[in-house]
Amino acid sequence: MSELAFRTCPLCEATCGLEIEVKDDGSVGRIRGDRDDVFSRGFICPKGSTLKQLHEDPDRLRTPRVRGEDGELHPVKWDEAFAEVERRLLPIIEEHGRDAVAIYLGNPTVHSLSAVLYTRFLVRALGTTNVYSASTIDQRPKEISSGLLFGTSISFAVPDLDRTSYLLMLGANPFESNGSLATAPDWPGRLRGIVEREGRVVVVDPKRTKTAEEASEHVSIRPGTDALLLMAMVHVLFAEGLVDLGRLDGLVVGIEEVERVARDFTPEAVSSATAIDAATIRRLARELAAAETAAVYGRIGTCTQEFGTLASWLVDVLNILTGNLDRPGGAMFARPAAGGATTSGAPGRGRGVKLGRRASRVRGLPESYGELPVVCLAEEIDTPGPGQVRALVTVGGNPALSVPNSDRLQRAFRDLELMVSVDPYVNETTRHADVILPSPDVLTKGHYDVAFYQFALRNVANYSPPVLPPEADAMEEWKTIAKLALIAQGAGAAADPAVLDDMVIRGMVERAGLDPEQTLAELAPRVGPERMLDLMLRTGPYGLTLDQLLEHPHGIDLGPLEPRLPDVLRTASGMIEMGAEPFIADVPRLKAALDRTTNGGFVLIGRRHLRSNNSWMHNVTVLMKGKSRCTLQIHPDDARRLGLGDEAKVRSRAGAVVVAIEVTDAVMPGVVSLPHGWGHDLPGVEMKVARAHAGVNSNILADDDLFDPLSGNAVFNGIPVEVAPA
Ligand code: SF4
């Protein structure tokens, strides 16, 4: 006998519904796609069924660890672990100030309801300006571009895949990644649907990826030059009288500035730098303008480059100039059921975004959305002086593998006086920690994708209650984070996390203009993230309750995306700020790139694999089967010219690695590709499967001197490297 439970997969942004068999003895049986899920309709990728393996993984931490005088990490009780944090954290704050403590929030925090809702209180409690997250690794340009254009950091216009007839996609490989910043299960099926409807999918990518192979057309581009291509397409639209704002007319300011700055970027002018002939660029612009409905979509490859913000901006400029923004089949805005930045406050106008309110201590790089760029983290730790970082808190992150110049960062970790990590593994980062507080297994947590429904391709709401009871000795994640916040505030290691929880929910109720006593009574007896979520649903645009969601284990379908302009805007002007000053001011830097000549050297790009999820799924045996995936892909002509054998030595300004090569004409000559998230064979890492398939860390090569100045986002797409026989 067994029971079936339904749960949204938390591993990537696709939010697939899972059907999970729970056996009588409490063990997990088969996991497969939930055919009744309102969004995914049974779709699942190979990672989804591995929640069972993650649950059973003997390497997953079940109890806290504290580093003893012998230098080893020892299991301890929760009380002892929190006491150790208090004993060591407070003196650092007292002696050196709050900026002496940095916090790094990893990508998995966005996939956890409790981490999404509670880490902001931990950040506030620490009171530090040294806040870092995975956002400045791969998406801050999109957040800045959307913030300046539309008014909030997550006002993402997403491609309406199910109704579009023309999709121009840059720097994205959803056949491997399952899509990003445009949430939908089964991207492959949706892309094939466009072609089956006799539409076109054009993929612009330096590599002939799986997505490019399945597309109507693959346009190969030199890494890091997407902004030049897009600007030339803007040029063509203006030059050929193809601009047609449609119903956006009267809602857009800055058209003249955009036309002016695009003048120099003729297709002929960008052709050499992009390695795309002028006729193709003109054709792409004309096709886009002529399509019945069209959407331009750029993702990680367009963000992780030196013109990341301009490229992200120009994606939406093209959507706007062709009248495709905010119409079915174009690029549209979701209307999320809970916690929506674009559904709260007055419709159509807001405070806009403020960027660069302060600068980092060492290099003076600008803050954005309360964070500093991760390219600053190592230097803020290893550079002496007032304000030097001496303690680090990480939540669900593995910056040792994810951040550029990771050798330097790992050396810097050794200088820290204290490192506290909320994480279920002793991985490449947490091996440096003094205290590790394990987050509980995902199957024992409730789940709702507060973040990803903000930019979903369909409006849905789906809450999953815990599938399994808490494990012995486990602490709920929200309590762990709340306890850390209370300790940072001086309330002591014994403080009750319910104190913070009650204070926070009361503040939320009051800010919503509701009667506190009545509302809190209605929300009772729930506490923690479920109580917060219930309030957010009740005050959201559909007026849902958590009880209603519980009655719908396969989710509630709230319908296809609908036009939301002008209400969706939160800019101070109440207009789409297409010519916002930071964009225009950065164009001369792009123009200077036109004159660059390629020196015949190599540039490095990354790549995705369906069975990887950054660095976090490499301890699952079933996902690690098959031939090694951590290889340097290189074009046959280059491999022959260099006389490469089985391995190559790759060197950049930041470091060098030796890696097995894979010869393939899928990459352009002059371009090499190495996936990220590998390099698990470091001393102290307690992940046996990952260690056995260690690979090399590509971020030893990524350079912390290379970033997009507007966003501070690291450059991973187009790192200059030398390649030689090993
Ligand atoms: S595509 Fe993403 S959400 Fe769907 S099953 Fe795979 S990992 Fe989970």
What DSSP character marks residue 207?
B
Could you tell me if the CB of 183 is within 6 A of ligand 1?
no
Could you tell me if the CB of 16 is within 6 A of ligand 1?
yes
The pLDDT score that the predictor gives to residue 596 is: 80
The pLDDT score that the predictor gives to residue 127 is: 98
369-381 pLDDT, tens digit each: 999 999 999 999 9
List the beta bridge partners of residue 663.
634
Buried b (16+ CB within 10 A) or exposed e, 328-354: ebbbbbbbbbbbbbbbbeeebbbebbe
The pLDDT score that the predictor gives to residue 611 is: 87
CB atoms within 10 A of CB 386: 9
List the beta bridge partners of residue 131.
103
* Mutation test residue for ligand 1: of 45, 50, 107, 443, the one with most atoms within 8 Å of CB: 45
DSSP assignment of 375-412: GGHHHHHHS-STT---EEEEES--HHHHSSSHHHHHHH
The pLDDT score that the predictor gives to residue 599 is: 67
CA torsion sign for 455, 456, 457, 458 is: negative
Could you tell me if the CB of 9 is within 6 A of ligand 1?
yes
Q: Is beta strand 295-298 parallel, antiparallel or unpaired with respect to 2-8?
A: unpaired
The pLDDT score that the predictor gives to residue 283 is: 98
Low-confidence ranges of the chain (pLDDT < 70): 598-599
Distance 614 CA to ligand 1 centre (A): 13
Distance 47 CA to ligand 1 centre (A): 6
CB atoms within 10 A of CB 643: 8
CB atoms within 10 A of CB 610: 18
Instruction: Tell me what percent of the chain is helix, strand and coil, each rounded to the nearest 5.
Output: 35, 20, 45
The pLDDT score that the predictor gives to residue 329 is: 98
Could you tell me if the CB of 45 is within 6 A of ligand 1?
yes
Distance CA 99, CA 360 (A): 11
The pLDDT score that the predictor gives to residue 185 is: 98
Domains of the chain are 1-56 (3.30.200.210), 60-131+374-562 (3.40.50.740), 160-327+574-591 (3.40.228.10), 598-725 (2.40.40.20)
User: Which is nearest to 135 in space by CA: 183, 173, 102, 180?
Assistant: 180
20-46 pLDDT, tens digit each: 999 999 999 999 999 999 999 999 999
Contact 432, 400 (CB under 8 A): yes
User: Which is nearest to 297 in space by CA: 212, 171, 200?
Assistant: 171
Q: Is the peptide bond before 347 cis (omega within 30 degrees of 0)?
A: no
CB atoms within 10 A of CB 432: 22
The pLDDT score that the predictor gives to residue 598 is: 66
Could you tell me if the CB of 11 is within 6 A of ligand 1?
yes
Cβ within 8 Å of residue 354, ≥6 positions away = none
Distance set, CA 606 to CA 413, 614, 658 (Å):
25, 11, 16
> Of all atoms in ligand 1, which is nearest to the CA of residue 49?
5
In what side-by-side order are the strands of the sheet with 73-75? Answer: 73-75, 65-67, 435-437, 418-422, 391-395, 101-105, 131-133
What is the greatest pairwise CA distance in the chain? 76
132: left (phi over 0), alpha (psi -120 to 50) or beta: beta
Could you tell me if the CB of 14 is within 6 A of ligand 1?
yes
Amino acid residing at 284 = L
Distance 33 CA to ligand 1 centre (A): 9
Whole-model pTM above 0.95? yes
